[in-house]
Structure 1
Amino acid sequence: MTQDDLRAGQIDTSRPHPARIYDYLLGGKDNYEVDQQAGDELATAAPEVRIGLRANRAFLQRAVRYVVGSGVRQILDIGTGLPTSPNVHEVAQKVAPDVRVAYVDNDPIVNGHAGALLSGSGTTSIVLADLRDPQAIVDHPEIRRIIDFDEPVALLLVAILHFLTEAEKPEEVVATLRDALPAGSFLVLSHATDDFADRSAAKAIYSKATATLNLRSRPEVERFFDGFELLEPGLAQAPFWRPDTTPPPRSSEIGFYGGVARKPA
């Protein structure tokens, strides 16, 4: 998908969209019947999906608190999805009110809903762009208005890379973004896996969506951290990355890995 395609604002309601399926499964209302049907099928194929998505969301919030607590004051969140409170900027600014957040998503619906909720302070923005064109994201004037790439940045790639096929070269995508970040920056990443259960039926559901589901093993997910130093406890199932409460029942079944890493000097 090119940037021109995105600017055209084409909203495809004939096929499920990952962000809208996610919204539906989290109890949101910004979705269509095709998304609801896909979500119900997904919950049948992978019964732990709802607790998995909540665990992924909780991992995101813990990771944001960590990186902001470590001193980072700017966040680039690619594949933000539809707004679900508390959003990244709300979590971050509760720790440090001066944090700046740039959101990126390729769904015009996400762009519209997120834009309506952003603060008027000029410290938070939403850009319509596609992860598959990472250089365009880095070079986007609105991203450059919010993000100073001479200072540490927290890059969030949460539940997004599994929508890129190998042909779309996800390692190169991450490397392009990594190379734009200065030393001291962080990568917060989560990714779906079938290491804990056969999820071929779930993959089949996404074959009818606007993006396919590409599940990867632990070693395959770890490669995205090349050039970064993984922080303890390394790559873990999402509920077990520095939990601040008792992980929910059935956490051992959750097919999401999560990790936070720092770019060394």
Structure 2
Amino acid sequence: MLYKLNLEHILFLDIETVPQRPSFADLDENSQMLWEQKSQYQRKNEITAEDFYERAGIWAEFGKVVCISVGYFTLKDNERNFRVTSFSGEETRLLKQFKQLLQEHFNLAKHLLCAHNGKEFDFPYIARRMVINGMNLPYKLDLFGKKPWDVPHLDTMELWKFGDYKHYTSLKLLAHVLGIPSPKEDMDGSMVKDVYYNENNLDRIVSYCELDVITTAQVFLKLRNEELLGRDEIKKV
């Protein structure tokens, strides 16, 4: 079935998120209490809620999206290109831009969204942040009433599981074992908060996010046993 999918019908994506505030001390008293309750089962006894706030960006209730990068294939006259673009900055604005992209270009039944661990993280996170920001969900993120086989989402991590519910594989590890060349990255996911709040370097985050989108597309090609993208086939738009 994977081989029958039209690459031009798939929107690959990745998101980067950060805590809503630079530090735990910047939260109001009620939010601090709620964060302490939310995180109590994730952190070890010796780690305080304040120290654990470094990871608040993982939860949509305490984090926000600062970048959504997307990529899509164009196939014409035996020429294959993968076009990459990003929405970044103020959350409400970037979510509206992403929603507009979905509604105008990826809103048909044949269209699919694809991300690594997207079903557990990217897709629900975007949907929750849209609701929090007072936005109606686009069709591709509104799963209410849809049967599992009607959900328009692909997940490269789920594809790699082959039915194993216990297996987690990072995108970086999967790319490595599949022999996908890894571009030189000057950061990883644990650094996004500091790069955003301390360095104020959004461009660096965008570059990192776009690399993950490209790698996700490469993994998808490898799972279909197709030739990987060459550097000249990747276009920033």
Q: Which has the higher contact order (CA 8 A, sep 6+)?
A: 2
TM-score by length of 2: 0.32
Higher Rg: 2
TM-score by length of 1: 0.30
